[in-house]
Structure 1
Amino acid sequence: MAQQERGKRSRRSILEAAARVFDERGYDAASTNEILARTGLTRGSLYHHFPSKQAIALALVEAHGEALRPPERPVRLQSVIDLTLEFARRLQSDPLLRASVRLTIEQSSFDCPPRTTYDQSFEAILALLQEADRHQEVLPGVDVQEAASTIVGSFTGLQTMSQAYSGRADLLERIGIFWKLLLPGIATPGLIGHLRTTLPDD
């Protein structure tokens, strides 16, 4: 059991170190030597968990899905909003999530898997919008697939701009403004006044 626990810690250490290197340098400029230097592990330990740099990157992309667990809210549109806001907050501090986003966006030699982070995000948002539609929270005639695609694409662009201008310090504000502009086009009028575009106070 102790050996199994050490193995889990080693794997996590590799992923965290690799995430920081990928986030700072990008995939092509990152090296397993630098990743190893940040972990203090042996090369044999790294290859025990990951046979290549690409295998590490793939594991980070898969970890992206963990950040897409929707919060439980009575109003499903609020769940959609809070999912994007919570994801934005985690992007400000979580190196694994930041690395997975950069690996997806960046043009590099890394071959993203067929089910990319865009697909994961689209599926999570679409499922919530479909529930919102069934609960009559969405305006008649709104195509929820188009709405989901627009939300994912807009979030991607906004987080890229936020990273460039403020290191993502203003990302939550940008996402809140986005929702204020989008909600009149998708939410039923009586619901808009009851929806938050900021995270609740802890």
Structure 2
Amino acid sequence: MVQREPKQERSARTRAAIIRAGAEVFAEVGFAGASVNKIARRADLTLGALYFHFESKEQLAREIVEAQPARLVLPTTVHGLQGAVDTTIAWATQLLGDPMLLAGARLVMDQEYFVDTEKGNSHQQWVEVLLPYLHEAAQEGELRPDVDAEALARLLVNAATGAQMNAQLDTGRQDLPDRIRQMWGFLVPLIATEECASRVLESL
């Protein structure tokens, strides 16, 4: 006798398939070029199944963008300025093979069409990811006294966003990890104490 898959598990699998298909389509053609029909076809599902889980492509795009930070795989031991460095390099490296992160990179300029103003945009989302590391770096004396952690977090997100957009045009993002390392190579001597800077630069 064939055992039927539990309804809850089947629903979760269908939802995951929609998210994966949505990420792939958004990454390929952007928000404007994506349609619920394209996403449903990519997931090999009916429109009814898609609409059961997501009322619109806007809602799907929001979920994909909000899930970005959870995609990163980081050592549990990272902290301080090294934690911020490792987070951005992990993002740049994993983005190359992760449809979810690729979709987030492609959707970054289309957020006005689907962003949830109460939760903030993806720029602020990534600022919040980096801030704990930078606050820790400040508390541990790794940053120069005149460095503002929040302003630095915003600068890093802006620089990383610009780097991935330029890398997409130049190399299809293949050199994005190198660009992020170069970014830190310029920044670290300006923001970190001499001892911390020496340690972080050696890791790049």
Fold match (TM-score > 0.5) = yes
> Contact 2:144 / 2:192 at 8 angstroms: preserved in 1?
yes
- The counterpart of 1:13, out of the listed 17, 20, 24, is 17
**2: CA distance between counterparts of 1:172 and 1:103?**
19
TM-fit CA distance, 1:39? 1.3
Higher helix share: 2
> Contact 2:83 / 2:133 at 8 angstroms: preserved in 1?
yes
What per-residue deviation string (whole Å, max 9, x for no partner) do you get for residues 105-147 of structure 1?
237x723122111111111212211111101111111111211
Which is further off, 69-78 or 83-92? 69-78
**2: CA distance between counterparts of 1:144 and 1:76?**
11
* Structure-2-length-normalised TM-score: 0.89
* Structure-1-length-normalised TM-score: 0.90
Give the corresponding residue for 2:65: 61
Gaps of 5+ in 1: none
Counterpart of 1:53 in structure 2: which amino acid? Answer: K
TM-fit CA distance, 1:73? 3.5
User: Post-superposition, which runs of at least 4 consecutive aligned residues in structure 1 deviate over 4 A?
Assistant: 68-71
**1: CA distance between counterparts of 2:73 and 2:173?**
21
> Contact 2:61 / 2:114 at 8 angstroms: preserved in 1?
no
Q: CA RMSD in A?
A: 1.8
Gaps of 5+ in 2: none
Give the corresponding residue for 1:182: 187
TM-fit CA distance, 1:19? 1.0
Give the corresponding residue for 1:124: 129
Give the corresponding residue for 2:92: 88
**2: CA distance between counterparts of 1:96 and 1:35?**
14
| 2:138 is the counterpart of 1:140 | no
**1: CA distance between counterparts of 2:158 and 2:72?**
15
How many matched pairs? Answer: 197
